[in-house]
């Protein structure tokens, strides 16, 4: 395993590798384009490179660090989930969701997670290691290749129209800025539109590699996806949130709140003992002041635990002050009925309790959406990608 992992390299690092091989400077640009624009996963495909260079790349470098262990599709064909094996044998999950005009990939940033949230399957197993930038980017490229290859069966057209009435809800959420614009063409349908960093792991605990991956993904000379089409979800690490506010890349921030007070939040998310709500919210206020961007709060509704009306009032009071200087609301709450995991006793809230919780938030001036859970038939037994499927695909 001494091969250079090509996807781990920045463009300058790639240029350095190739110039060390005696190649002219423009080769790095060519290889970069093959990797990220033409989605090559084999140097043999890089037909404008000299044969000798292709042979050397094949012998001394590796492109795709992901080996598919299984691919699973939901019965409605909207959702495809992959389990990948990494070069050291660890496994991670990636999910592709296709609804309406969005094709969203949900990617992992760590193998496991150290945060130990009690309702999360990934959290129960602990952290194995951070993913490399290449392993993060590779998940996006893999999904993009599969989309482009056309060998994923199209979701049934009838199911698409069922979502039309949700257009206004979607338009109100910053993660999906391209919602509702015209009909997709065949070429569009083969393209990824959104990325959510909501797979296994805590992205802000693997900050540098996650951002290197996002820079490559958004590089116009590479994959070229707009930063506003990317959402990073965090358990709420204040330093990471402040760092995000300074990033030139305008990716969306989602904060996994799940409880409006420290007593409850510390029970559910042990990290809250280290970074209590006041500290977390101070960082979010700084983020909003700096960026003027709306923050999404994720709230997994658990029956009888965090779904009581008084908690909705408490949550509204906590989030209401998140406003722009002009008075615009700069928060949105995603209410996601919990996806129960085998290791935990928590159960999803009943639909009536979810609706009541949402109504209280809305009446208090805090926009909130209850997300439908979808692709549930392939979610059973998966780390915790299951819930994102609900959240993302409303």
Determine contact, residues 98/393, Cβ cutoff 8 Å. Answer: no
Query: What residue 283 binds from ligand SF4, ligand SAH, none (CB within 5 to 8 A, per partner kind)?
Result: none
Query: What residue 134 binds from ligand SF4, ligand SAH, none (CB within 5 to 8 A, per partner kind)?
Result: none
- Can you tell me whether residue 300 is helix, strand or coil? strand
List the alpha helices (DSSP H) in the chain: 11-20, 26-36, 51-60, 121-125, 133-149, 157-161, 167-171, 186-189, 207-218, 238-246, 262-268, 271-274, 277-291, 309-319, 351-363, 385-393
Determine contact, residues 390/369, Cβ cutoff 8 Å. Answer: no
| Residue 390 is a binding residue for ligand SF4 (CB under 6 A) | no
Total interface residues for ligand SF4 by CB under 6 A: 12
Minimum Å gap between C-beta 22 and ligand SF4 is 45
136 or 198, CB closer to ligand SAH?
198
* Burial (CB count <10 Å: 0-12, 13-18, 19+), residue 310: exposed
Count of helices and strands (H, E) across the chain: 16, 14
84-123 binders of ligand SF4 (CB under 6 A): 113, 115-117, 120, 122-123
Residues that bind ligand SAH (CB under 6 A): 113, 117, 119-120, 198, 202, 233-235, 256, 298, 300, 336, 338-339, 341, 384, 387-388
Which pair of structure tokens corresponds to residue 295? 């923050």
Query: What residue 387 binds from ligand SF4, ligand SAH, none (CB within 5 to 8 A, per partner kind)?
Result: ligand SAH
What is the C-alpha to C-alpha distance for residues 262 and 273, in angstroms, rounded to an integer? 8
Query: What residue 393 binds from ligand SF4, ligand SAH, none (CB within 5 to 8 A, per partner kind)?
Result: none
| Residue 334 is a binding residue for ligand SF4 (CB under 6 A) | no
Query: What residue 300 binds from ligand SF4, ligand SAH, none (CB within 5 to 8 A, per partner kind)?
Result: ligand SAH
Which of 23, 379, 382, 393 is catalytic? The answer is 382
Minimum Å gap between C-beta 115 and ligand SF4 is 4
Residue with tokens 């093959």: 34
What is the C-alpha to C-alpha distance for residues 116 and 366, in angstroms, rounded to an integer? 29
Minimum Å gap between C-beta 240 and ligand SF4 is 12
61 or 344, CB closer to ligand SF4?
344
235, 353, 368, 382: residue in contact with ligand SF4 (rule CB under 6 A): 235
Determine contact, residues 316/335, Cβ cutoff 8 Å. Answer: no
Q: What is the largest CA-CA distance in the chain?
A: 69
120 counts as catalytic? no
Closest CA to 205 of 144, 256, 161, 169: 256
Residue nearest to ligand SAH (CB): 387
Which of 93, 175, 298, 379 is catalytic? The answer is 93
382 counts as catalytic? yes
Minimum Å gap between C-beta 270 and ligand SF4 is 9
Return the active site residues.
93, 382
């Amino acid at each position: 395993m001494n091969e250079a992992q090509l996807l781990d390299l920045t463009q300058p690092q790639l240029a350095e590798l190739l110039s060390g091989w005696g190649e002219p400077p423009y080769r790095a640009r060519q290889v970069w384009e093959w990797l990220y624009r033409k989605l090559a996963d084999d140097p043999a495909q890089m037909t404008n490179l000299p044969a000798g260079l292709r042979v050397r790349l094949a012998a001394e470098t590796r492109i795709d660090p992901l080996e598919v262990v299984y691919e699973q599709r939901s019965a409605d064909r909207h959702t495809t989930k992959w389990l990948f094996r990494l070069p050291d044998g660890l496994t991670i999950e990636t999910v592709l969701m296709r609804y309406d005009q969005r094709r969203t990939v949900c990617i992992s940033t760590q193998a496991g997670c150290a945060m130990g949230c009690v309702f999360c399957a990934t959290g129960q197993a602990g952290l194995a290691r951070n993913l490399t930038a290449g392993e993060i980017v590779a998940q996006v490229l893999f999904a993009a290749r599969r989309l482009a290859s056309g060998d994923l069966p199209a979701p049934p057209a009838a199911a698409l129209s069922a979502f039309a009435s949700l257009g206004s809800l979607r338009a109100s959420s910053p993660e999906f800025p391209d919602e509702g614009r015209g009909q997709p063409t065949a070429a569009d349908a083969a393209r990824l539109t959104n990325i959510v960093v909501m797979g296994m792991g805590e992205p802000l605990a693997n900050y540098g590699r996650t951002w290197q991956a996002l820079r490559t993904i958004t590089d116009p000379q590479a994959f070229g996806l707009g930063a506003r089409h990317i959402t990073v979800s965090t358990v709420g690490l204040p330093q990471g949130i402040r760092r995000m506010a300074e990033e030139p890349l305008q990716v969306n921030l989602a904060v996994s709140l799940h409880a409006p007070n420290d007593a409850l939040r510390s029970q559910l998310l042990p990290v809250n003992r280290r970074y209590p709500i006041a500290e977390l919210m101070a960082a979010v206020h700084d983020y909003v002041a700096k960026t003027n961007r709306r923050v999404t709060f994720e709230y997994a509704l658990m029956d009888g635990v965090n779904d009581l009306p008084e908690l909705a009032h408490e949550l509204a009071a906590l989030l209401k002050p998140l406003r722009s200087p002009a008075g615009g609301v700069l928060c949105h709450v995603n209410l996601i009925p919990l996806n129960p995991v085998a290791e935990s006793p928590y159960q999803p809230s009943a639909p009536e309790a979810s609706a009541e919780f949402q109504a209280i938030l809305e009446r208090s001036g805090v926009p909130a959406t209850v997300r439908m859970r979808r692709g549930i038939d392939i979610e059973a037994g998966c780390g915790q990608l299951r819930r994102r499927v609900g959240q993302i695909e409303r």
